[in-house]
Chains A and B, each alone.
Chain A
Amino acid sequence: MMVKKRGNNGDLMKERLHPFQLSILIYTIQNGLVLYSLPRYTAEYFGTNGWISIVFIFVLVNINILMIAFIYKLGKGRSIFEIIDKTVPKWIMVPFYLFIICVWIGTASMIMRLYIFIFKMMFFPALPVSLFIFFFILLSFQMLRGGLYKMTKAIVVLCAIVQPMLFLLFYLVPEFEFARFTTFFFKGGTDFFKGALHVYTAFLGIEVSILFFPMVEKKWTKALFIGNLLTTVGYILVTAICYGFFSFNQILNDLIPVMTLFEYTEVSFLSRAENLCFSVFAFKILSIIVIYFWGAQQFLGNMMKKMKPNVWIFIILACAFLFAMLPDSIVDVEKWLSWLSYCAIGIAWALPLFVLCILFIQILKKLIDRETDHAK
């Protein structure tokens, strides 16, 4: 193991990510803000016992991850930029890359803005929004400066700080009643397709893992599945307890059911724990937006190789700041966020499919070449 010689700056990631770190990374970067409204979405769109829909969406997400793992295996660990650049000339891909970059930066900014809105609404009616945005951007800058490896190390520790939140749920068990689940499945829901899309946005974030290829050890794909499984378990736990705690109509009428859930937890030396929970959730939001920024940075870096990677960080963060200042109310943000999330879901499916097609074309070409060589 060569210890590197100093003075070798730049983005050369010779460090490999370990599967354990990766699974925690995936768990943390999957969109968590939807968690706070997830019971309401499932109740609205799916009806009674809507939390079971999470399991179905989990299966869909797994198919998506399978595609990514397949690409890794077929492409033998090459980065997707290499694969695409071999077949498709760059100038064709540039508008698509720009689209992906805009969608990802937009999603990250909107998630940040929504979080800040909820926070302001509940706890700080008077503080200026730009202060919050500034601190989020500052923390993202500090994380992006170090590259993916340092980011992962920081995210592992931040996740460890966020996790104890789940233990507060045990305080609710005395009030939990199975009867509130009702014996009907999926009755009273409205739109299954839209609901499925909304619940799918709870699992977004995993599509950025397609860019991890040059930086991971072999046999890392199981980390994706483990991370996704952890997320699903967490979601199901919280949603199920929510369904057992509130009645069906109560969930429909509450904007952020999970917050109300935490309001009821009472610890002897602390009254309103939901304040702390939501504040510590900022770390999860930070991880989500940072990974989207990092993904956008990778795309930008691939498009224009001559600029230094650090310059991109400034540009991306400046765009995010401006973008996050745009919306004025929660309705605006939610509208933007839903549109951007639909685009992101589209990207999550289209990009792996596209790369798979190219890989097939390349393999076919190689086979044909070998045949013709044989013939010669």
Chain B
Amino acid sequence: MGRLRAKFKKIFLQKDTDFVKVPNNQQLNRHPQASKDDTTIMEASNHEKFTEATYEKTITELGNGFDLVHRSFNQDEIQIIYLSSLVDSQTLEWEILSPLRETNFNIYDKSFQQSLYRRENNQEKVIIGILNGNVAMFIGENTFLISVSGFEERAIAQTETETVINGPHDSFNEALHTNVSLIRRRVRSPRLKMIKLSVGEISKTKVVLIYIDGIADMDIVNQLKARIQSLKVDSITDSNVLIQIIDDHQNSPFPQFYTTERPDIAVSKLYAGKVIGLVDDSPNIFCTPSTFFDFFESPDDYNQRWIIGTGVRILRYMALFITLILTAFYVSICTYHYEMIPQSLLQSIMQSRSRVPFPPIVEAIFLEIVIELLREAGARLPTKIGQTIGIVGGIVIGQAAVQAGITSNILIIVVAVSAIASFIVPSYIMSSSIRIIRFLFIVMAGFMGNIGIFFALGILTIHLTGLTNLSSPYFMPISPTFVKDWMESIVRGPYYKIKKGQPAMQNDGEKERK
């Protein structure tokens, strides 16, 4: 009984999920004694905590892996351990193995001054170093980590989900190094700052936060950093997983962090004063603070003339409206409000509906589910079969359904138009959310007609205006209203209207406070 009450309270009485409370002293210090003021105690305890790195200990801990290589030189005086799947074999050969084979070992002190070589005595850090692609060299009492990592990676290719007609075509890939280089070469300024973090107890995934000093809001940077550092998970597989965990509102169907695979979008967000985050092993980057209208922007708008860009944006918002409401409107008119159909259209609708044995809501939901099945199957099919099934599903089934009398002609057009309209939204995650919300509208229309549609619209609006992204309102600049920002986000204003150095988030007074 107590658990039921607690659940009830959690759903109805809490405004949003309780986030993990960030402790006040949020250093990445693993040693609990480090919070004391006395530094000598800290050093002493550090010494007690870590162990000296030795060859034997390292071998036992890493075990006998398939890619573990250990070599010894000069009659077991020098031992090296590395993971062959993580090191670049050419650099390894050039930098380490050849010199070790050839040179006189008495002058090896000088070579250890090189920047690649790093002295490391902590056993834990040596293991981490080997797992990061370094070579561990054990000489006598000392241990050195040499950085020769060379991971295999996918070539920079065109993105498949965010294509642009006129603009750069490169996209991020899974290697953090490459992604950072794609950003660096577009922002050649010393003001570009990066913060390195690590998430995941077992995976130790690297996360890099990037922002431009002077334009970005440091509050947001610090808040984001604090949130990511307070995570306690075993691993994160993709940046989408990370942003879902650090979200403000985890139960909302709408995405709150904007993600993209394109460097040009990432860099434009940087210039607008936002903070972007890159996650290792993920081609998607996330950016914050984002609003609902960010998901309806595409680089095409900016690369074209502003009038056309504005026209396309307005078309997108109309498409949003159409995809949510069109099918629901058809259902509500055919079920409850026959008087709203204009007389000229009445005859064709009557003819097509007369052959259908089901009420409009049933046929609408049936067709919508078929379209969703087609879409999901199309995403999972191997490419060779994809084309055939598309034609079969789209044309043949539709035509056959009408002739068999299961659905009406007009409904097929309505559902097809609304499905096409849902794909106009540039961001795939947002368009998936909208497709699911569409079902709510159809069901409400089936129960209560036009007012059902407006109730659903009301629920959606109230929900959207209440969302926040890292404490910044989601539905800005419509509400709270900042008419000056409409030039940037709702329509695409001409470039002479945008002044230099004007950050997008110039509204200081509008931080969400509860």
A residues adjacent to B (C-beta < 8 A): 1-10, 12, 14-16, 18, 20-21, 119, 123-124, 127, 131-132, 135, 138-139, 142-143, 145-147, 150, 153-154, 156-158, 160-161, 268-272, 275-276, 279-280, 282-283, 286, 308, 310-311
Task: Let me know if B14 and A9 touch, CB within 8 A.
Answer: yes
Task: Let me know if A131 and B447 touch, CB within 8 A.
Answer: yes
C-alpha gap A150/B514 in the complex (Å): 9
- In addition to A1-B219, A124-B336, A271-B339, 16 A-B residue pairs with Cβ atoms within 8 Å of each other are A3-B223, A4-B511, A4-B514, A9-B14, A21-B481, A123-B336, A146-B466, A153-B475, A158-B458, A161-B457, A161-B461, A270-B342, A275-B337, A275-B339, A282-B451, A283-B458
Across the interface, name the chain A residue whose C-beta is closest to B461.
A157
Determine which of B337, B462, B511 lies in contact with A1 in the assembled complex, contact meaning CB atoms within 8 Å.
B511
Interface string of B434-476 (1 = CB under 8 A from A): 0000000000000111110111011101111110000101010
Task: Let me know if B475 and A157 touch, CB within 8 A.
Answer: yes
C-alpha gap A279/B336 in the complex (Å): 13
Tell whether A150 pairs with B466 under 8 Å between CB atoms, given A3-B223, A6-B19, A279-B450.
Answer: yes
C-alpha gap A139/B448 in the complex (Å): 15
B residues adjacent to A (C-beta < 8 A): 12-15, 18-19, 21-22, 219-220, 223, 336-337, 339-343, 447-451, 453-455, 457-459, 461-466, 471, 473, 475, 478-481, 508-509, 511-514
Give the one of B447, B453, B473, B481 with max A CB within 10 A: B481
Task: Let me know if B342 and A268 touch, CB within 8 A.
Answer: yes
Determine which of B219, B342, B478 lies in contact with A269 in the assembled complex, contact meaning CB atoms within 8 Å.
B342
B160 to chain A, nearest CB (A): 35
Determine which of B454, B480, B512, B514 lies in contact with A9 in the assembled complex, contact meaning CB atoms within 8 Å.
B514
Tell whether A154 pairs with B21 under 8 Å between CB atoms, given A15-B512, A272-B340.
Answer: no
23 contacts between A and B (CB under 8 A): A3-B223, A4-B513, A6-B22, A9-B14, A10-B514, A15-B512, A16-B509, A123-B450, A131-B447, A132-B451, A135-B455, A150-B466, A153-B466, A153-B473, A156-B478, A156-B479, A157-B479, A271-B342, A275-B337, A275-B340, A276-B450, A279-B453, A282-B458
C-alpha gap A150/B511 in the complex (Å): 13
Which residues from A are CB-within-8-Å of B466?
A: 146, 150, 153-154
Task: Let me know if B337 and A123 touch, CB within 8 A.
Answer: yes
C-alpha gap A119/B478 in the complex (Å): 31
Determine which of A127, A132, A139, A145 lies in contact with B458 in the assembled complex, contact meaning CB atoms within 8 Å.
A139
Report the 7 A-B pairs with minimum CB-CB distance, sorted nearest first. A14-B513, A156-B479, A153-B465, A279-B450, A153-B479, A154-B465, A154-B462
Determine which of B15, B465, B509 lies in contact with A157 in the assembled complex, contact meaning CB atoms within 8 Å.
B465
Which residues from A are CB-within-8-Å of B465?
A: 150, 153-154, 156-157
Which residues from A are CB-within-8-Å of B513?
A: 3-4, 14-15
C-alpha gap A27/B341 in the complex (Å): 33
C-alpha gap A143/B342 in the complex (Å): 36
Across the interface, name the chain A residue whose C-beta is closest to B24.
A5
Which residues from A are CB-within-8-Å of B343?
A: 271
Which residues from A are CB-within-8-Å of B337?
A: 123, 272, 275
Task: Let me know if A280 and B454 touch, CB within 8 A.
Answer: yes
Which residues from B are CB-within-8-Å of A143?
A: 462
Across the interface, name the chain B residue whose C-beta is closest to A145.
B15
Determine which of B13, B15, B479, B480 lies in contact with A146 in the assembled complex, contact meaning CB atoms within 8 Å.
B15
A156 to chain B, nearest CB (A): 4
Task: Let me know if B454 and A282 touch, CB within 8 A.
Answer: yes
C-alpha gap A286/B457 in the complex (Å): 13
C-alpha gap A189/B349 in the complex (Å): 49
C-alpha gap A141/B463 in the complex (Å): 12
Which residues from B are CB-within-8-Å of A271?
A: 339-343
Across the interface, name the chain A residue whose C-beta is closest to B9.
A310
Task: Let me know if B480 and A18 touch, CB within 8 A.
Answer: yes
B91 to chain A, nearest CB (A): 45
C-alpha gap A82/B400 in the complex (Å): 72
Task: Let me know if B511 and A156 touch, CB within 8 A.
Answer: no
Which residues from A are CB-within-8-Å of B509?
A: 1, 16, 18
Task: Let me know if B462 and A124 touch, CB within 8 A.
Answer: no
Across the interface, name the chain B residue whose C-beta is closest to A286.
B458
Which residues from A are CB-within-8-Å of B479?
A: 21, 153-154, 156-157
Across the interface, name the chain A residue whose C-beta is closest to B339.
A272
Tell whether A20 pairs with B448 under 8 Å between CB atoms, given A279-B454, A310-B13.
Answer: no
Task: Let me know if B18 and A7 touch, CB within 8 A.
Answer: yes
C-alpha gap A269/B342 in the complex (Å): 6
C-alpha gap A311/B12 in the complex (Å): 10
